[in-house]
Structure 1
Amino acid sequence: MKNLIKKLVESYGPSGDEEQIREIIKAEIKDEVDNIETDALGNLIALKEGKKDKKVMLAAHMDEIGLIANHIDEDGFIRFDRVGGISPYMLLGARVLFNGETPGVIDKEGQLDDIKKLNYDKLYIDIGATNKEEAEEKVTLGDTASYYREFQDLGTRVTAKSLDDRIGCVTLIETLKEIDTPEYDTYFVFTTQEEVGTRGSKVAAYNIEPDLGLAVDVTLTGDMPEAKRMSVSLGEGPAIKVKDRSVLADPKVKNLLIDLAKENELPYQLEVLKYGGTDAGSMQLTKDGVLAGAVSIPCRYVHSPSEMVDIDDVENSVKLLAALLDNEISFL
């Protein structure tokens, strides 16, 4: 599993530029499914046919947060905007990669007497160019960049950029390989543009019309020094979503996941997330509504260059999803 995580997190794929990561995932799963296709928005949709014709949709997003070039000055320095939610405080000294091939480093103008004044207008990317013409040979306006950071194995835990949500993609891939014939037709959907408004899952769910939709994504934790209060910790099991800003999980879905965790003696936590949303929110509002929920993987330092997860949480998430797909669901 760690080799797969490394392959996915070190791949390039900001929102809107998911082609590279999509092809890696496609190669990994194409022999394990009954049908695989890519829709107009770039979602990778893999079907594993089940015993009954109800539809279950599992969604994990391929895209990562990123930056987009919006100006190149005469000295070759690149100004940029964000693609998804990135705090400017995370960017000082960070290395980024444009188009998966051109590295650069981020710094600020002049001296700041107050870090609270730091904003995107004060930041620039240096790709080593000496003038505008040289810079434009490597980067043009509208090109995107992602964090440039290697995967690190810390033992039970790993740290890398883009674990949000490549670790969800890993969970779907591993679940897919665990299941021979699911109870229901199951769509493993690797979605695009989640970080800029859950766009991919909206069109995928509209097309699939699932009877049950589950997002598989990361969630925040409250187990670091002086962290915001959050009753989720690394290593304590998958977090079963109760709510976030985009969704109130259907109680039937939440309780089903809790019951399956108990029956299979799997550790679990409950997630009440004050901020952020997932593909569950867009799935729930598809057409005349979908029963929706989420399995969340606890993650420290979300949207930083060095996110962190516990491998035990990932493995237990796979077991929980496999148990879901292997059993009849009373309310479907």
Structure 2
Amino acid sequence: MPNTELYEHLYNEIAQLVMCHSPSGAEREINECLLDRLAALGIDHWQDDADNIVARIPGTGEGAIAITAHKDEIGGIVKDIEPDGRILVRRLGGSYPWIYGEGVVDFLGDHETLSGILSFGSRHVSHESAQKVQQEGKAVTWETAWVETKRSLSALEQAGIRPGTRMVVGKHRKQPYRLGDYIASYTLDNKASVAILLALAEGINTPAKTIYLVFSAKEEVGAIGALYFSHRNRLDALIALEICPLSAEYPIQANDAPVLLSQDKYGLYDEDLNQQLLQAAQARACPIQQAIISGFGSDASIAMTFGHVPKAACLSFPTHNTHGYEIAHLGAIAHCIDILTQYCNDL
């Protein structure tokens, strides 16, 4: 498939996935989409007790490999609701209010999804107003922000909005934007990796080892889904698909070359497994970068740290503005598909 056609296909695929709300622990929308997609492919799949969606491609021999892409996204969680309908929110995962800015956010109520306006207060104020400090170099925090709903307490209650309700950036603000060969969007972490797993479900044929494609739950709050799965299934290795932060402190270029990690804050990745992935990249003539990063963890490194798997790797795509309005090269995402397809079919 020519790059232009491939990139368009990937863009459209990711755009569909991004529009499925999936804050950690409230992942119903993306679950329904994935179950429909896997059923259409005719692949063996199920939803486990930890809310993972798992697809299984049987191997011709012994052993099993898991490849994960977490399906949850960061956001907020309701702490309290004031008498005038104003909602107080706290972080869910690595979210910051200044990333979203003032604008529409969605609350996934028990009975209905309702929208409100994330608010930081008026700017035409003096030091008598608490929000004045936000104009003088101090970042806005969840504790100093709120959401205006202009709804009554009874209306919010009827919708099932309560302490614990999840909040995400409004759906009408989520539509991705195309920047040439790049895609820009909220929640590329990790909906772009979910798109990679769906492509692998179509492209892997009769591997030597059984392949589990795990659309993992609640990664942003502790890799809970991956830990549950890796604890209950005997695996030879676990490979996580992830974003890779672009920053001056890391020797990573913003291009179509995926990044293979050697270390993150949870520890070392397996060098032998990394060599196998590098060989797969070479066999497909795919460019690849290597790096160690600090403020980061993945399903794979966390599972290996807990002793659930003997080997772990993380294959990622370079991303601007991680945990914000992210930007990634569609070619890097496509090359992740190529590398993992080659690796799995050559097991």
TM-score by length of 2: 0.87
Tell me if the contact between 1:59 and 1:216 (Cα under 8 Å) persists in the aligned partners.
Answer: yes
**Match in the other structure for 1:172:** 197
Q: Please point out which of 85, 103, 108 is paired with 2:115.
A: 103
Q: Residues 288, 103 of structure 1: CA spacing in aligned structure 2 closer, same or farther, 3 A cutoff?
A: closer
Task: State the partner residue of 2:168.
Answer: 146
Letter in 1 for 2:154: E
Shift of 1:288: 5.9
Q: Tell me the amino acid that sits aligned with residue 142 of structure 1.
A: G
Q: How many Å apart are 1:287 and its aligned residue?
A: 4.8
C-alpha contact (below 8 Å) 1:236/1:269 kept by paired residues: no
**Secondary structure of 1:316 counterpart:** helix
Residue 243 of structure 1: aligned partner: 263
Q: Distance in 2 between matches of 1:194 and 1:277?
A: 10
Q: Which amino acid aligns with 1:123?
A: A
- Give the % identical residues: 22
Aligned residue pairs total 321
Displacement of 1:247: 3.3
Deviations 1:39-79 (A, max 9, x none): 11100111001121210100000000011111111111100
Aligned twin of 2:230: 205
- The equivalent residue for 1:293 is 313
Q: Indicate the larger mover: 270-279 or 151-160.
A: 151-160
The within-5 A match list for 1:173-192 is: 173-192=198-217
1:236/1:7 CA distance change after superposition, 3 Å:
closer
Residues 1:23 and 2:58 are matched in the alignment: no
Gap change, CA 1:81 and 1:112, over 3 Å in 2: same
* Per-residue deviation, residues 193-231 of structure 1 (Å, max 9, x unmatched): 000011100011112221011000111013xxxxx3211
Tell me which of 51, 66, 85 is aligned to 2:60. 51
Q: Which runs of 5+ in 1 are unaligned?
A: 223-227
Greater shift, 105-114 or 66-75, is seen at 105-114
* Structure 2 stretches lacking a partner, 5+ long: 1-9, 122-128
- Which structure 2 residues correspond to residues 1-332 of structure 1 after superposition, within 5 A? 1-32=10-41, 34-99=43-108, 101-109=113-121, 110=129, 111-113=131-133, 114-116=136-138, 118-129=140-151, 131-138=152-159, 139-148=161-170, 149-222=174-247, 228-285=248-305, 287=307, 289-304=309-324, 306-328=325-347
CA distance, structure 1, for counterparts of residue 323 and residue 106 of structure 2: 16
Compute the displacement of 1:31 (Å): 4.3
Structure 1 distance, partners of 2:233, 2:41, is 20
**Aligned counterparts of 2:169 and 2:203: Cα–Cα separation in 1:** 32
Partner of residue 225, structure 1 = none
Deviations 1:243-267, CA, capped at 9 Å, x for gaps: 1112311110112212221232110
Structure 2: how far apart are the matches of 1:319 and 1:30?
Answer: 23
CA RMSD of the aligned region, Å?
1.8
Q: 1:9-41 CA distances to partner (integer Å, 9 max, x unpaired)? A: 111110001121012112112343642111111
Report the 3-state secondary structure (helix = DSSP H, G, I; strand = E; otherwise coil) of the residue aligned with 1:243. Answer: strand
- Secondary structure of 2:268's counterpart equals coil
In 2, Cα distance between equivalents of 1:247 and 1:103: 40
Aligned partner letter, 1:163 = L
Alpha-carbon displacement from aligned partner over 1:84-104 (angstroms, at most 9, x marks no partner): 011233243142111183222
Q: CA deviation at 1:277?
A: 0.5
